[in-house]
């Protein structure tokens, strides 16, 4: 079947497929620079309210389901997504311009993180059960029986991301972690990949029906900006997950904070992910600590996925050394040899071109290299470009520290450690910060480079390249503002579930009325903190 001709037009209000009452729009194929055949319709404000109201009705039922029941639901979602087969891959490739291999891998990541959270639920200790048994004879005052655990917040609104049409979209990490926590989810689909979103939405609805979930545990809405903001303003909504631009994230944050009951917005927004190279790390002629090796890897990281990763290294800081020129020449060579490629949509491509142009005309900023091949506007392509400047120019031009989303980076050459320290100190919050150095350079420097970078980022790398986020227990994908709106959280890994829960203490309850996680005989057989000791 040709994906350009299929009719994927539906939103879902709970289990009910609906055609939106709002304006119609087309999906866009960036590699073709043309609209696709099928029509989509945004939902009206009334329809959006219906989705939230269904979620509110589903919440008390869904929140009381066992971890095993919710785990079965997540496993079923993963299976239903896989069952779509090539149709999903083809549609996502068409709507995103990303290659088949990348989308196939992203589908695997999507289903993998759903199953990861299912495993977390079955094991059960994530609820952080803490028990202080009663001490009626304690002097001078008795202690009541106190039992604490995490419980779900309530309905969550998730905004799909443009750059990950599967892994950070309809069934992505925000949705998976919120559903795992016991929260119904209403997803606002990203307009760049509406067909992909509808296919995945249908898969989640099918999984919900097959596993007996309450109607309203999930909804998928195609919606305009005004309706999307009203989703956040609805009094039944208790949290928001967002991945996108700083302007978009801040707009939602303002709505959430201006409500009579403010709610948390977990927004991933903007990062340039500094990449710091000290002289010792590139002092060798060959091998991993050579200027050519590190520079070649950096160029690959900058251009990976047409630079459309939130962890793309957009700023490179070099402490000048005899190998600096070799480093710069190698980066330039690799960038010139790289090929322009299709970006996610025309708006992102235009913003990329504008951002590069604005930086390159700043006095003291030079084009170190750009791809030898011109970008094809008919294929919405971005041309890899690397710029260079000095520390004084960088420090006097605040715009150079802002994100340019795409296959570009700015190299800042610093003459002294003091210059480098000042440059890093001026940076905003980041998702990642990478440092290439020898242990001796970090141990004996007058500057505590690791502490400086730790203060700026949620993930600090010693060597390696930041474009790649492992989905695991120990991952932090977050960081100080404006990388995210709440630096205490992560949107990737098992700890992401903690964004959508709150603690509750039960005092002096009869054992049979307590949640199973807090009952005396520990029927779930989970790890619990009992008077300061961890046990089962």
Domains in the chain (CATH in brackets) are 11-132+144-269+489-499 (3.40.605.10), 275-462 (3.40.309.10)
Cα 1 from Cα 439, distance rounded (Å): 57
Q: Is 310 a catalytic residue?
A: yes
Does residue 501 surpass a pLDDT of 70?
yes
End-to-end Cα spacing for the chain: 54
- 472-490 confidence digits (pLDDT tens): 999 999 999 999 999 999 9
Token couple for 104: 């196939």
- Alpha-carbon distances of 291 from 129, 239, 297, 325, 420, rounded to whole Å: 51, 46, 10, 9, 19
Token couple for 508: 């002096």
Contact of 259 with 235, CB cutoff 8 Å: yes
- 220-252 confidence digits (pLDDT tens): 999 999 999 999 999 999 999 999 999 999 999
Q: What is the DSSP letter of 143?
A: B
- 415-430 confidence digits (pLDDT tens): 999 999 999 999 999 9
Q: What values do phi and psi take at 295, rounded to 5?
A: -65, -40
- 194-224 confidence digits (pLDDT tens): 999 999 999 999 999 999 999 999 999 999 9
Contact of 408 with 314, CB cutoff 8 Å: yes
| pLDDT, position 5 | 39
Cα 293 from Cα 353, distance rounded (Å): 29
Cα 64 from Cα 393, distance rounded (Å): 58
Reduced to 3 states, what is the DSSP secondary structure of residue 269? coil
- 294-320 confidence digits (pLDDT tens): 999 999 999 999 999 999 999 999 999
Q: Which residues pair with 389 in a beta bridge?
A: 412
Reduced to 3 states, what is the DSSP secondary structure of residue 531? coil
Cα 123 from Cα 472, distance rounded (Å): 15
Residue 400 CA to its chain's centroid (Å): 24
Contact of 21 with 46, CB cutoff 8 Å: yes
Catalytic residue among 57, 90, 268, 441: 268
Catalytic residue among 183, 310, 349, 423: 310
Q: Is 226 a catalytic residue?
A: no
């Amino acid at each position: 079947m040709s994906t350009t001709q299929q009719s994927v037009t539906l939103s879902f209000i709970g289990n009910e497929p609906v055609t939106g009452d709002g304006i119609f729009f087309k999906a866009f194929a960036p590699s073709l620079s043309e609209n696709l055949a099928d029509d989509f319709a945004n939902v009206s404000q009334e329809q959006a309210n219906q989705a939230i109201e269904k979620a509110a009705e589903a919440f008390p039922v869904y929140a009381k389901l066992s971890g095993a029941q919710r785990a079965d639901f997540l496993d079923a979602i993963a299976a239903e997504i896989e069952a779509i087969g090539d149709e999903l891959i083809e549609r996502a490739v068409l709507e995103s311009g990303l290659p088949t291999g990348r989308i196939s891998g992203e589908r695997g990541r999507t289903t993998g993180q759903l199953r990861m959270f299912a495993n977390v639920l079955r094991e059960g200790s994530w609820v952080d059960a803490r028990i202080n048994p009663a001490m009626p004879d304690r002097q001078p005052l008795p202690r009541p029986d106190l039992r604490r655990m995490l419980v779900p917040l309530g309905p969550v609104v998730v905004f799909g991301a443009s750059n990950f049409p599967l892994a950070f979209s309809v069934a992505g990490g925000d949705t998976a972690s919120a559903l795992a926590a016991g929260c119904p989810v209403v997803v606002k689909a990203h307009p760049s990949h509406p067909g992909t979103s509808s296919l995945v939405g249908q898969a989640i609805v099918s999984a919900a029906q097959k596993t007996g979930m309450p109607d309203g545990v999930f909804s998928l809405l195609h919606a305009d900006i005004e309706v999307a903001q009203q989703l956040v303003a609805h009094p039944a909504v208790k949290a928001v997950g967002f991945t996108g631009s700083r302007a978009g994230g801040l707009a939602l944050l303002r709505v959430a904070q201006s409500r009579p009951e403010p709610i948390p917005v977990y927004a991933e927004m903007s990062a340039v992910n500094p990449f710091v190279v000290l002289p010792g790390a590139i002092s060798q002629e060959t091998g991993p600590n050579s200027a050519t090796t590190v520079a070649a890897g950096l160029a690959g990281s900058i251009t990976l996925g047409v630079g459309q990763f939130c962890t793309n290294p957009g700023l490179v800081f070099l402490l000048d050394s005899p190998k600096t020129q070799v480093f710069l020449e190698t980066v330039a060579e690799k960038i010139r040899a790289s090929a322009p490629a299709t970006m996610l949509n025309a708006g992102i491509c235009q913003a990329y071109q504008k951002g590069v142009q604005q930086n390159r005309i700043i006095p003291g900023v030079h084009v170190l290299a750009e791809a030898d091949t011109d970008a094809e506007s008919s294929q919405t392509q971005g041309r890899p470009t690397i710029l260079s400047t000095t520390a004084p120019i960088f420090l006097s031009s605040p715009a150079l520290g802002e994100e340019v989303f795409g296959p570009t980076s700015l190299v800042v050459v610093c003459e002294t450690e003091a210059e480098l320290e000042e440059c890093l100190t001026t940076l905003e919050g980041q998702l990642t910060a990478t440092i290439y150095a020898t242990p001796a350079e970090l141990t004996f420097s007058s500057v505590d480079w690791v502490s400086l970078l730790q203060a700026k980022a949620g993930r600090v790398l010693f060597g390696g390249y930041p474009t790649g986020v492992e989905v695991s227990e120990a991952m932090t994908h977050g960081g100080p503002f404006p990388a995210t709106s709440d630096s205490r959280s992560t949107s990737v890994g098992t700890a992401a579930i903690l964004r959508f829960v709150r603690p509750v203490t039960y005092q002096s309850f009869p054992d049979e009325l307590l949640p199973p996680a807090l009952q005396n005989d520990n029927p779930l057989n989970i790890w619990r903190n009992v008077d300061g000791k961890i046990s089962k």
